[in-house]
Amino acid sequence: MTDTQHTSGTDGGDAVVSAFNAVGADHIFCSSGSEWAPVWESLARHHRDGIPCPDYLDLTHETVAVGMATGYGLLARRPQGVLLHAAPGLLQGSMAVHGALLAGVPMVVASSESTTYGDGPGPDPGGQWYRNLSIVGGPHGVARPFTKWSNEAASVHTLPAMITRAAELSWRAPAGPAYLNIPLEILLEEWDGRESGPVVAPGSTHSSPEEVDLVARLMRGAVNPVIVTETAGRETGGFEALVAFAEAWSIPVVEPDSAVCANFPRTHPLHAGSDIGPWMDEADLILLVNCRAPFYPPSRRPAEAKVVVIDEVPQRPHVVHQVLFADRYLEGDVANTLRQLTKRAKELDETVVSARRAAQEERHAAEQAAVAAAEARATDAEGIDPVLVAASLRRLLDGRNGIVVDETITHSRVVKRHLQTSEPDSYFYVQGGLGQGIAVALGVKLAAPERPVALTIGDGAFTYNPVIPSYDASKAYELPLLIVVFNNRVYQSMNLNHRRFYPDGAAAETGEWLGTDLHRLPRLAAFAEPFGLHTETVDTPDALAPALERALKAVTEGTTAVVDVLVTR
């Protein structure tokens, strides 16, 4: 044992709280389990004695705990703590943990298992682990496939350093959740007070000037280049760096349907929509900026274009099959790489650049005209078209610095196209599976309490969410959301695939569309009423804007508002 300077401690619960304090976690998101009594006791002592510690959120569902940590991490961009209950709680929250992995959000997730089952010295952990909760090999084995790193704490004396290591690993590229199994016996074991050091932000890695020069030469020689990005805006400063880069070189920017955050202003003349298709045959240079899956199917290779991949970790370890067709990689901090390339926007052929800019301005004008025409048709349509909902939400949030979290499926293209987001951290798409949207939006609101946060969600996705625990969290922690439900009374995605695969099948003949009907659900807004939340159900176009305005007023005054909009498709 190494002698170290330390303060007197009590047990493993204090070691956990001390470690999350050192890590710099603002919050511990917990879905309660009987193993966490040592942590609760430590927090109670901290609160009683006025000792700083992370804020603790007591949440009543695992998806809510992990989803809120995800939403918070999307803006904070540093690790938070998540405590779940044993292996069943870990499994319950596993979809949300996997979503955090896909979203690139750092966090330390922990749950606990007994190692002695009552046969060891010290306090009796309880027979539930022996009878019902035990997982062969420990829950860290269960967590391995959907986390970045998974391990078990073997001693109370190494526990703080293990949490520090988990936080550091989760924060470094590619960022994502790390998991630590902390056996209950270790939580109850006497701790000598040795603390781990604070976690420092990851150091940055940069592409060399020589590598950047080679790409800049390629760009100078390109006549029809295009930038494609999915998550440039997820990086600190990435949104602003991409705008400066695109403007300096006059290169159009495509945000494909797979884009999961705000990366580039959709109102900008260089925004080239969401369809990479026209560029596959026309572009002579494709710049993939934080783009994990640009081509579908994966074998769909660009006809003539050279492909440059700009990404800190181009090959995502958690993606099963990934094809980029890269001719050159620029690896390292994405914002830094873009800034380096921006500085090299010199000695450009003005004739070529002017022609490229003019062509893009024409495309952009045509797209904006198409958006306006679609909104005009939606305004004149019978019933409420989804386009009208998205456009009305855009007008409602205009000038308010709002954030939209999106968990729609068949309406996601409509939401992106007609929201026209133009600021960093103004749009996020929920990753990894339906049923997390409310929790992610709550976490975003926790990170940005001064900004209005709206969740757009389909009726099918809404029913997957743990609605009651989410409303409880909203109420308990004063996190008001504007929830807008695109309610077409059907699992439209399932229905569309059935029709696509069997256009002349028995279901088309008889009208028996199984697995899709949601007409039997009660009014979705009604679930909010027991919590005293503001509710609206809207079924006519004229009623939509006033209902949204009333709802936002309620949110501004501190109450979550649910607007259930009965759309026509």
| DSSP string covering 347-392 | S--HHHHHHHHHHHHHHHHHHHHHHHHHHHHHHHSSSB-HHHHHHH
Residues 6 or more apart in contact with residue 50 via CB below 8 angstroms: none
User: Quick one: pLDDT at residue 9?
Assistant: 64
Cα–Cα dist 485/408, whole Å: 9
Question: Can you list the pairs that 238-241 forms with residues at least 24 positions away whose Cβ atoms lie under 8 Å?
Answer: 238/263, 238/290, 238/334, 238/335, 238/338, 239/263, 239/264, 239/423, 239/424, 239/425, 240/335, 240/424, 241/334, 241/335, 241/336, 241/338, 241/339, 241/342
Question: Which backbone phi and psi does 227 adopt, to 5 degrees?
Answer: -105, 135
**pTM metric for this prediction:** 0.95
- CA angle, corner 179, sides to 177 and 181, nearest 5? 165
CA 11 to chain CA centroid, nearest Å = 35
User: Quick one: pLDDT at residue 125?
Assistant: 86
Q: Kindly write down the DSSP assignment for every residue of 292-354, as one continuous string.
A: S--SSSTT---SS-EEEEE-SSSS-TT-SS-----SEEE-S-HHHHHHHHHHT--S--HHHHH
User: Quick one: pLDDT at residue 3?
Assistant: 40
Task: Please report, in tens digits, the pLDDT of each residue of the chain (569 residues total).
Answer: 344 443 456 899 999 999 999 999 999 999 988 899 999 999 999 999 999 999 999 999 999 999 999 999 999 999 999 999 999 999 999 999 999 999 999 999 999 998 888 888 888 888 888 888 888 888 999 999 999 999 999 999 999 999 999 999 999 999 999 999 999 999 999 999 887 778 888 988 999 999 999 999 999 999 999 999 999 999 999 999 999 999 999 999 999 999 999 999 999 999 999 999 999 999 999 999 999 999 999 999 999 999 999 999 999 988 899 999 999 999 999 999 999 999 999 999 999 999 999 999 999 999 999 999 999 999 999 999 999 999 999 999 999 999 999 999 999 999 999 999 999 999 999 999 999 999 999 999 999 999 999 999 999 999 999 999 999 999 999 999 999 999 998 888 888 889 999 999 999 999 998 988 888 888 888 889 999 999 999 999 999 999 999 999 999 999 999 999 999 99
Per DSSP, what are the bridge partners of residue 28? 56, 81
- CA angle, corner 91, sides to 87 and 93, nearest 5? 120
Per DSSP, what are the bridge partners of residue 330? 310
Strand blocks (E) in 403-560: 403-407, 427-429, 453-458, 482-487, 534-538
The Cα-based distances of 335 to 10, 208, 245, 310, 311 in angstroms read 45, 14, 10, 10, 9
Cα–Cα dist 81/59, whole Å: 13
CA dihedral 504→510→516→519, nearest 10 degrees, is 150
Residue where the block lists tokens 């008001």: 480
Cα–Cα dist 405/551, whole Å: 17
Helix axes 541-556, 386-397, angle to 10 degrees: 40
Are the C-beta atoms of 235 and 337 separated by less than 8 Å? no
User: Quick one: pLDDT at residue 4?
Assistant: 41
Which secondary-structure segment (H or E) carries 81? strand 80-83
The Cα-based distances of 322 to 253, 296, 317, 326 in angstroms read 22, 10, 10, 11
Q: What is the CA radius of gyration of the chain?
A: 25
Cα–Cα dist 32/61, whole Å: 8
